[in-house]
Amino acid sequence: MLHSALINVMVKAARRAGRSLNRDLGEVENLQVSLKGPANFVTMADKRAEEMIYTDLAKARPGYGFIGEEGGTREGADKSHTWIVDPLDGTTNFLHGIPQFAISIGLQREGTIIAGVIYNPANDELYIAERGKGAFLNEQRLRVAGRRKLDECVIACGLPHIGRGDHDLSRKEMAEIQNKVAGLRRFGAASLDMAFVAAGRLDGYWERNLQPWDMAAGQILVREAGGVVSGMAGDDDPLKTGHLICGNEFVHGELVKILKPLGK
């Protein structure tokens, strides 16, 4: 299948960084690990992957801005375009040898995400989306699941850990959702949770206190697969609020009804 030059650039960068991460995954116990915060590990693999991605993207699109989890913001001459990159989403999974992690690359144009690539090198699953052109997993067109009864749905969530998030609020949210759904899941990589919603594997997903690089690429994937993405209010921008709900139109609406009042 033919993709745009833009998507080809993003895929090439993701695959090259993915090869590096796969090599490091095989030697995960030998990685140099530094502590960036409570239970928030950053590895040499993480930093190396981000530099690879930055180098490839900057070569292909000189002047674009770049926001990365490890290197922060790098201003570009082109103020209308910004790459938003997580070189290793699911770092804790990666450090424990759990193959649920991904490279996430989103491109923002004048405040709107116009393209996204999410790549899990451990199983070679490549998700891509471009505005108005649909969402795909390894060349297969994606659509969100069509379920319209919460008691038949499997929903993913985030869980706060030590030193991060509102634990009491999280417990309240889970208690409310658990009583209404077929299953609740926590996989540990926000970008892949959104990709799974786009692929119809999950019916919905919510999480609070995310960063732009956690969800930039996933946001366009879900929307191009026919889903709805918002913050907790139901019509706000998660890139600005840091809180996210997504699913098909019905599931998204039901999750907003349940979760919105709890956060007040």
CB atoms within 10 A of CB 226: 17
110 assigned to a ligand binding site: no
Task: Report pLDDT for 31.
Answer: 57
Collapsed DSSP state (helix, strand, coil) of residue 33: strand
Q: What is the pLDDT of residues 148-196, one digit of tens each?
A: 999 999 999 999 888 888 999 999 999 999 999 999 999 999 999 999 9
pLDDT score of 132 more than 50: yes
133-148: burial string, b at 16+ Cβ within 10 Å, e else: eebbbeeeebebbebe
Sheet holding 78-89, edge to edge: 72-74, 64-68, 78-89, 102-109, 112-120, 125-130, 135-137, 140-141
Three-state DSSP string of 128-153: EEECCCCEEECCEECCCCCCCCHHHC
Instruction: Quickly name the fold that domain 150-263 has.
Output: D-Maltodextrin-Binding Protein; domain 2 (3.40.190)
Q: What percent of the chain has pLDDT over 90?
A: 79
Task: Report pLDDT for 45.
Answer: 84
As to burial, measured by CB atoms within 10 angstroms (0-12 exposed, 13-18 middle, 19+ buried), residue 126 is: buried
Write down the domain spans for the chain.
5-141, 150-263
Q: What is the pLDDT of residues 24-33, one digit of tens each?
A: 887 775 655 5
Task: Report pLDDT for 30.
Answer: 60
Q: To the nearest whole number, what is the mean pLDDT of the chain?
A: 92
**Residue length, the chain?**
264
pLDDT score of 241 more than 80: yes
86 assigned to a ligand binding site: yes
Q: Identify which has the larger pLDDT, 104 or 75.
A: 104
Task: Report pLDDT for 32.
Answer: 52
As to burial, measured by CB atoms within 10 angstroms (0-12 exposed, 13-18 middle, 19+ buried), residue 109 is: middle
Q: Among 84-88, 161-165, 207-211, which stretch is predicted with the lowest mean pLDDT?
A: 161-165
Collapsed DSSP state (helix, strand, coil) of residue 234: coil
88 assigned to a ligand binding site: yes
pLDDT mean over 242-249: 98
69 assigned to a ligand binding site: yes
Q: What is the pLDDT of residues 22-74, one digit of tens each?
A: 988 877 756 555 555 433 445 788 899 999 999 999 999 999 999 998 888 99
Task: Report pLDDT for 251.
Answer: 98
pLDDT score of 203 more than 90: yes
pLDDT score of 105 more than 90: yes
**CATH number of 5-141, picked from 1.10.3090.10, 3.10.180.10, 3.30.930.10, 3.30.540.10:** 3.30.540.10
